[in-house]
Amino acid sequence: MGTVLLLFIINVPIYLFVQPHWVFAITLVLTAVLLVFVTYFFRNPVRVLEIDDPNFIIAPADGRVVVVEPTEENEYFHEQKLQVSIFMSPFNVHANWFPIEGTVLVSEHQKGRHMGAWLPKSSTDNERSLVVIETPNKVQIALRQIAGAMARRIVTYAKPGHQAHRNTHLGFIKLGSRVDMYLPLDTEMFVTVGEAVRGNETIIGRLADVEPKAKAAAKPKAKAKNV
């Protein structure tokens, strides 16, 4: 609505006060193209995925996989994790979804640079938001929304204490660029570098099954002696 109003404000004075009218025609075409681009870029589709395995990890964003490798995560876990990064071009949907069910433990925004999101250092140097989710099996994964060269605003809907549900939007990166995930090292991956993925549709991996803890053996109770 704000974009339409802005284009209206631009075009009406040109139509009323600028001669010749071919100037208005050119302006109208240019602003119409701009409106189509903005509408296309900020599209926010509803996607519903039905799966019965809670350990499946769903792609949180549209784009292309640019990293699948073990790395040292020093912002939250401070240990080695499996990093999976998805780069979003200006033509991808820029909405982000929760990749797994659980509870949001952390949601933090950090200011930073706006270098190209395809660069490795963008993960630690660019403006970004960190979201940490804990599954019902107490497995924690981290997700970073990373701004790129064009991006100037990251929107994160996830808040600490909120429940993370599949088919639900986690946030949006306006003119944004990349999402990093940090998973346990024993995660089984179904995608490789260079592969295209669709947010809330592509199953990119599966968390390892958590073995139930053995119950501690019950100590025999001492029987009271009759005196």
Print pLDDT tens along the chain (227 aa). 555 666 667 767 776 677 777 777 777 777 777 666 666 566 678 889 999 899 999 999 999 999 999 999 999 999 999 999 999 887 888 899 999 999 999 999 988 776 665 566 666 768 889 999 999 999 999 999 998 766 557 889 999 999 999 999 999 887 658 999 999 999 999 999 999 999 999 999 999 997 755 444 444 444 444 43
- Rounded alpha-carbon distances, angstroms, from residue 126 to 112, 117, 119, 129: 4, 8, 10, 10
In the structure encoding, which two tokens stand for residue 167, read together? 């088919």
- Active-site positions read 177
CB 185 within 8 A of CB 80: yes
Looking at domain 56-206, its CATH class is mainly beta
pTM of this structure: 0.76
Q: Is the dihedral of CA 26, 28, 31, 37 positive or negative?
A: negative
Between CA 64 and CA 60 the distance in angstroms is: 12
207-210, long-range: CB < 8 A, 24+ apart: 207/55, 207/57, 207/100, 207/135, 207/137, 207/139, 207/141, 207/183, 208/55, 208/184, 209/55, 210/137, 210/138, 210/139
